[in-house]
Structure 1
Amino acid sequence: MTHQLPIRVYYEDTDMAGIVYHANYLRYIERARSDWVRELGVDQREMKNENGLVFVVRRIEADYLAPARLDDLLVVETETVQLTGVRWILEQKVKRGEDVLFQALVTVVTMTDTGHPTRMPAIIRQRVH
């Protein structure tokens, strides 16, 4: 199961060289993960308010491969690499057409709103597989 989120590069996304500022790729992949979780039927605000659970990025391994530029139409592809009871590992790619510009391996865990680790919600385990 692969999720896709289209993103247009705006002037505010670029640096003085006219290319996407490196930190914005992290924003793009965050949006894609949030969008996918929403499409899976998980309301993160409700998850926090009712169960005291939040998703937290524990680790990101990222590679910047080629620059994106103003007005490019990008697609963020997200897919599950591994899902266990306590962690969700995702591969995310930012592409322009078939060209991969950025790729990351992201480890997401769940914590209580007081900062204690907890198991991944059952709804995620059920809907991702």
Structure 2
Amino acid sequence: MEDKLLTAAVDIEIPFHDVDSVHIVWHGNYAKYFEIARSALLRKINYDIPQMSESGYGWPVVDLQVKYIKPLKYGQKIKVVASLIEYENRLKVSYEVISQTDGSVTTKGQTTQLAIDMQTGETLFATPEIFRTKILASKN
């Protein structure tokens, strides 16, 4: 089990527009649920999308992994937990989607993001100091 440096959770009720004709969540929507939880995680250190833009860095997802365990259905209430597990050279965030009905884990996932300099478009292979500072401040 990886160390969780920072964790945030969001509650979501599965909307109708996220399901297919048999009322099961279309697989591509899981990335959206991860993004909602990741934004909550980054807001905890005051470094969500607006602050990233202001700092001159972007953080595109370069890898997404999803393990579907149980299908999610229309109207189901879930908790999506995002945990920062690495930030030195890249951001790695792990995810768990948990059914609020029975507490079971329905989905697991992970994203990897690399920093880019927004002016030059250059990929950075070390995390910018602004992010390191935000993480260290959150631990105090």
Normalised by the length of structure 1, the TM-score is 0.87
Q: What runs of 5+ residues in structure 1 fail to find an aligned partner?
A: none
Match for residue 44 of structure 1? 49
Partner of 2:30: 25
Contact 1:42–1:123 (8 Å) recurs in 2:
no
- 1:4-83 aligned at under 5 Å gives the runs 4-49=9-54, 51-83=55-87
- Aligned partner (choices 87, 90, 112) of residue 87 of structure 1: 90
The answer to whether the 8 A contact 1:75-1:94 is kept is yes
Q: Distance in 1 between matches of 2:95 and 2:35?
A: 10
Task: State the shift of 1:43 in Å.
Answer: 4.3
| RMSD of aligned Cα (Å) | 1.8
Stretches of structure 2 lacking an aligned partner (at least 5 in a row) = 1-5
| 2:58–2:115 Cα contact (<8 Å) kept | yes
Q: CA deviation at 1:92?
A: 0.4
Give deviations 1:39-74, integer Å, cap 9, x for gaps.
22124224323x320111111121111111111111
- Determine the C-alpha separation between the residues in 1 that align with 2:75 and 2:27: 16
Displacement after TM superposition at 1:128 (Å): 5.9
Q: CA deviation at 1:110?
A: 1.1
Displacement of 1:127: 4.5
Q: What is the aligned partner in structure 1 of residue 114 from structure 2?
A: 109
Greater fraction of residues in strand: 1
Distance of 1:28 and 1:90 partners within structure 2:
13
One of 118, 122, 125 as aligned partner of 2:132:
122
TM (norm. structure 2) is 0.80
